[in-house]
Amino acid sequence: MSHDLLLRNVRPMGGPTTDVLIRAGRIAGLGSGLEAPGIAVEDGGGALMIPGLVEAHTHLDKSFWGMGWRPHRAGPTVLDKIEAERQLRATGQIDPARQSARLLMQALRMGTTHIRTHVDVDDVGRLAGLEGVLATRADHADVMDVEIVAFPQSGILTRPGVAALMEDALRMGAEVVGGLDPCAIDRDPKGHLDVVFGLAERFGRPVDIHLHEGGSMGAFSMELILERTRALGLQGQVTVSHAFCLGDPDAALVNPLLEAMAALDVAVATTAPASRPVPAVARLRALGIRVCAGSDGVRDSWNPYGTADMLERAMLVGLRNNFRRDDELELALQVCTHGGASVLRLGDYGLEPGCNADIVLLGAETPAEAVAAHPPRCLVVKRGLVVARNGEALSKTP
Amino acid sequence: MSHDLLLRNVRPMGGPTTDVLIRAGRIAGLGSGLEAPGIAVEDGGGALMIPGLVEAHTHLDKSFWGMGWRPHRAGPTVLDKIEAERQLRATGQIDPARQSARLLMQALRMGTTHIRTHVDVDDVGRLAGLEGVLATRADHADVMDVEIVAFPQSGILTRPGVAALMEDALRMGAEVVGGLDPCAIDRDPKGHLDVVFGLAERFGRPVDIHLHEGGSMGAFSMELILERTRALGLQGQVTVSHAFCLGDPDAALVNPLLEAMAALDVAVATTAPASRPVPAVARLRALGIRVCAGSDGVRDSWNPYGTADMLERAMLVGLRNNFRRDDELELALQVCTHGGASVLRLGDYGLEPGCNADIVLLGAETPAEAVAAHPPRCLVVKRGLVVARNGEALSKTP
């Protein structure tokens, strides 16, 4: 679907007030006093206008959103959380289609217009999560763009049949090959990464690997990822999510990794957790490394927090990185907008004529204030269609 | 002023639905189907009921709240920020009465019912900040309890006349003696603390000292604070704000401090910043150390962030401390409620019969969900008076 719309009195990125004409779902022009007889008009009342927020790392398939409060049960380690989730998955309480739709609609009302979601592929749930998210994606294609990572959450080599299920997932519609913690989960980093990069090569797909591993183990895994990126010519096609090892205080460990990542155009997805070491966003950007951000799990068996609000995430990125100046706060917003768009390889993203009209209006004076205050979204527009108003989605949630 | 009110259909701390009768500003009783002919009734609709939030560390006098967006100008160090603020103060742009009232009303609509505010006393602003906050406190006495710390923001010994101004501040109505970074600012830790504790002794007042100093310097300052607490018999009367040195990874440095703090009942006020080392809240509480939390500056020359929302702060405390289980999230809420009440020595605080009716209603299933979701406040009640509804204060802001 595509739409025509005239937005009056908006301030793109906090600049002067203007009107924005949208034709067939794209920004046709910006200027004062535009006229377009017969098409719908929305008066922004001087609101700040930013491009649609990009949720570049989440897990739509397994959120508890809308299922009532569920106390966190898992132990502290990644392996604890995997095991707790496998037990939960076996009970069949989480309907991936319903839950992904609920979380998608929550993200939409907070101004997200594009999502990269990691969807679990394992020996318990098999492809049920993917089937659910594919259904949600089809049902919501007019209001949200969703990219799917086939994510071997429980490991590949130690779980019977998962490598074949990953192949099936890519054939069914997942676009990206996922992976996680090559040392810590499968206990066989070469074997794990050979499957992940083997699939990427055979299917011609990008890669997005969860790397929680810290310190020298994480650095070793990162080296293996970088070696394969170089060997397979996957420059610009690989994202490392979390990349906590890049937050290690040992510069001798971190600097060579950063240099290699910059040279190979390997991107970083951060959730900027406050309790873990994190990659320094400004440092990454100064080296030219693409950085995107995400909510990670929202109210799932991993994590009780989250509202799927990528402006709140921008604030958390800012707080974690000690960003205070306007250019720093704008960088936090950049990773939640254009940074995500570059990692998701979105064509026609932005506020220029010709771009898809994916737009958020909100009550803030400047982009920096939007990050600091993360106020409610006045209007969310997806390819020219008004999809949320005053913080509420306009189509019904499941 | 005191008030009568019947709250129907509320769930104190997430327990069973009940009614709450308030007489003369205090909780008179809880029970199902209470009747009180002739008094005002509010139907909570099953909302979660928690005690009023306690903002135990903020700076009401110098916020930019409501003054439009102001880009952050200061350099990265505490000394940079002090200098930038002194220059700003000299311009007279910040009206402490107006600004403290604006921020107080923002805190009120987010459910805060008690505030401890540090108010700058220095050689530039002298007592202007205090005079402003005293006026605001008097004007808002029916809707907010405010405790004032006389805070020598620019130092004591190196700034002419500040020691005498601190005395004046205590005579004028500040209740608590403040201090900061005994080594780093005045460069004379003995001299700084002798003034601070000298005033505490002479005036019989509690102490609340900002301690940003990290590592062994912070530990040294903490030792000096603990020595004076013991020598003057100020057990239970001293709070250390920030206390970043307690977040040092060196257990040999931290553990003796924690043991002494527990023995001397020295409390900690944390803002749980994501980019600094922080005291581990669960560890402090396990040792019996009282812990409260605060927003710190909200949109001032130190910091562009903040919404004065102590439930968002509870979330930040939880995220910083990697709290996930319900008992952990409840602890994050505890430091923003009862923890603050204990540090501020509030009598009659809580949800029991006889307590002051300082109450917040919100749409959450459990206290843990309130922390994770920090949803809008349905109703805020101060000593039986409804002061905010659906996120909006009922009296006008200046």
Q: What is the 3-state secondary structure (H, E, C) of chain B?
A: CCCCEEEEEEEECCCCCEEEEEECCEEEEEECCCCCCCCCEEEEEEEEEEECEEEEEECHHHCCCCCCCCCCCCCCCHHHHHHHHHHHHHHCCCCHHHHHHHHHHHHHHCCEEEEEEEEECECCCECHHHHHHHHHHHHCCCCCEEEEEEECCCCCCCCCCHHHHHHHHHHHCCCEEEEECCCCCCCCHHHHHHHHHHHHHHHCCCEEEECCCCHHHHHHHHHHHHHHHHHCCCCCCEEEECCHHHHCCCHHHHHHHHHHHHHHCCEEEECCCCCCCCCCHHHHHHCCCCEEECCECCCECCECCCCCCHHHHHHHHHHHCCCCCHHHHHHHHHHCCHHHHHHCCCCCCCCCCCCECCEEEECCCCHHHHHHHCCCEEEEEECCEEEEECCEECCCCC
Q: Please indicate, yes or no, whether residues B374 and B327 belong to a single structural domain of this protein.
A: no
Whether residues A333 and A275 fall in one domain:
yes
Are A157 and A301 part of one and the same domain?
A: yes
Look at A304 and B272 and tell me if their CB atoms are within 8 Å: no
Q: Is B69 in contact with A364 (Cβ distance < 8 A)?
A: yes
A396 belongs to a structural domain: no
Nearest to B78 by CA among B270, B242, B317, B246: B242
Which residues in chain B are contacts of A325 at CB distance < 8 A? 71-73
**Residue ranges of the alpha helices (H) in chain A?**
78-91, 96-109, 128-139, 162-172, 189-203, 215-231, 251-264, 281-286, 310-320, 326-335, 338-343, 367-373
Domain residue limits at A178: 53-343
Q: Do B368 and A69 touch (CB under 8 A)?
A: yes
CB nearest B71 (choices: A72, A316, A368) = A368
Residue of A13, A63, A69, A309 to mutate, testing the B interface (most B Cβ within 10 Å of its Cβ): A69
Tell me whether residue A142 is in a domain: yes
Nearest CA in chain B to A81: B324
Same domain flag for A44 and A58: no
CB contact under 8 A, A274 and B319: yes
pLDDT confidence of B396, banded at 50, 70, 90?
Answer: low
Q: Which residues of B touch A304 (CB under 8 A)?
A: 324, 329, 368, 372
- Over the stretch B242-270, which tens digit does the pLDDT of each residue have? 999 999 999 999 999 999 999 999 999 99
Does some domain include residue B398?
no
Residue B211 lies in a domain: yes
SS3 A393: strand
Residue A136 counted as domain residue: yes
Question: Are B134 and B224 within one domain?
Answer: yes
Angle at A377 between CA A373 and CA A379, to 5 degrees: 150
Question: Which pLDDT belongs to residue B92?
Answer: 86
From CA B251, how far away is CA A191, in angstroms rounded?
Answer: 39
ipTM value: 0.95
Same domain, residue pair B226 and B251: yes
Q: Give the closest-approach CA distance of A191 to chain B in angstroms.
A: 32
Query: To the nearest whole angstrom, how far is the Cα of B73 from the nearest Cα of chain A?
Result: 7
Say what the pLDDT of residue A2 is.
Answer: 55
A69-114 residue pLDDT tens: 999 999 999 999 999 999 998 888 999 999 999 999 999 999 999 9
* CB proximity B376 to A under 8 Å: no
Here the CATH number for the domain that contains residue A372 is: 2.30.40.10
| Distance from the B87 Cα atom to the nearest Cα atom in chain A, whole angstroms | 18
Q: Could you give the CA distance from residue A12 to residue A17 in angstroms, rounded to a whole number?
A: 8
Question: Checking DSSP bridges between strand B145-151 and strand B112-120, what pairing results, if any?
Answer: parallel
What are the pLDDT digits (tens) for A237-261?
999 999 999 999 999 999 999 999 9
In chain A, positions 346-365, which contact chain B (CB-CB < 8 Å)?
364-365
CB contact under 8 A, B319 and A305: yes
Residue A398 has pLDDT above 50, yes or no: no
Q: What is the per-residue pLDDT across B210-236, written as a single tens digit (0 to 9) for each?
A: 999 999 999 999 999 999 999 999 999
Please, which residues 291-310 of chain B have a Cβ atom closer than 8 Å to chain A?
Answer: 299, 303-307
Residues of B in contact with A270 (CB under 8 A): none
Tokens 């998608």, residue located: A104
What is the Cα–Cα distance from A101 to A67, expressed in whole angstroms? 13
Q: In terms of domains, do B274 and B224 share one?
A: yes
Task: Say whether both B37 and B67 belong to one domain.
Answer: no
**What are B55-75's pLDDT values in tens digits?**
999 999 999 999 999 999 999
Q: Nearest residue of A to residue B366 by CA position?
A: A69
* Interchain CB contacts (distance < 8 Å): A and B: 77
The answer to whether A262 and A238 have CB atoms below 8 angstroms apart is no
CA distance A163 to chain B (A): 32
Which residue from B minimizes the CA distance to A321? Answer: B275
- Output the CA torsion B240→A248→A54→B272 (10° steps): -10
pLDDT of residue A298: 98
> Are B365 and A69 an interchain contact pair (Cβ–Cβ within 8 Å)?
yes
Question: How confident is the model at residue A90, as a pLDDT?
Answer: 87
Tell me which chain A residues have a C-beta less than 8 angstroms from the C-beta of B373: 307
Interval B107-146: pLDDT, tens: 999 999 999 999 999 999 999 999 999 999 999 999 999 9
Helices (H), A51-95: 78-91
CA dist A135 and A127 (Å) reads 12
Q: Which one, of B120, B222, B93, lies nearest residue B174 by Cα?
A: B120
What is the Cα Rg of chain A in Å?
Answer: 21
Q: Do B209 and B358 lie in a common domain?
A: no
Around Cβ A95, how many Cβ atoms within 10 Å? 15
Q: Do A316 and B315 touch (CB under 8 A)?
A: no
Q: Which residue of A has its CA nearest to B77?
A: A322
CATH of the domain at A319: 3.20.20.140
Residue B315: CB atoms within 10 Å: 28
pLDDT at A208 over 50: yes
Q: Is A315 on the interface with B (CB under 8 A)?
A: yes
What is the percent of chain B where pLDDT is above 90? 95
pLDDT of A13 reads: 98
Q: What is the pLDDT of residues A163-200, one digit of tens each?
A: 999 999 999 999 999 999 999 999 999 999 999 999 99
| CB < 8 Å to B326, chain A | 71-72
Instruction: Give B-chain residues touching A318 at CB under 8 angstroms.
Output: 305
Beta-carbon separation of B71 and A321 below 8 A: no
Examine the domain organization and report whether A148 and A164 are in the same domain: yes
Give residue A278's region: left, alpha or beta (phi > 0; psi -120 to 50): beta
Kindly state whether B78 is in contact with chain A, defined as any CB-CB distance less than 8 angstroms. no
Model confidence at B156: pLDDT above 80 = yes
Whether pLDDT at B1 is above 80 = no
Task: Find, in chain B, the residue whose alpha carbon is nearest to that of A305.
Answer: B372
**Backbone phi, then psi, for A235, in 5-degree steps?**
-55, 135
Which residues touch A209 (CB under 8 Å, ≥6 apart)? A178, A179, A180, A182, A196, A225, A238, A239, A240, A241
A22 and A84 fall within a common domain: no
Cα A362 from chain centre:
21
**Are the beta carbons of A372 and B299 separated by less than 8 Å?**
yes
Note whether A39 and A90 are same-domain residues.
no
Q: How many domains does chain A divide into?
A: 2
Residues of B in contact with A69 (CB under 8 A): 364-366, 368-369
The alpha carbon of residue A69 is apart from the nearest alpha carbon of chain B, in Å, by 6
A window 232-291, beta carbon within 8 A of B: 272-276
Cβ of B304 within 8 Å of Cβ of A372? The answer is: yes
Q: Is A319 on the interface with B (CB under 8 A)?
A: yes
B67, B80, B298, B319, best to mutate vs chain A, most A CBs in 10 Å: B319
Among the partner residues B273, B321, B372, nearest to A275 by beta-carbon distance? B321
Q: Does residue A398 lie in a domain region?
A: no
Q: How far is A322 from chain B (nearest CA, A)?
A: 6
The reply to whether B397 falls in a domain is: no
Domain end marker among A343, A361, A379: A343
Answer yes or no: is pLDDT of A397 > 60: no
| B396 in any annotated domain | no
Q: Do B322 and A275 touch (CB under 8 A)?
A: yes
pTM above 0.80, yes or no: yes
Closest-CA residue to B299 (of A375, A324, A282) = A324
B272 contacts on A by Cβ (under 8 Å): 274
| Percentage, residues of chain A above pLDDT 70 | 99
Residue A396's pLDDT is 58
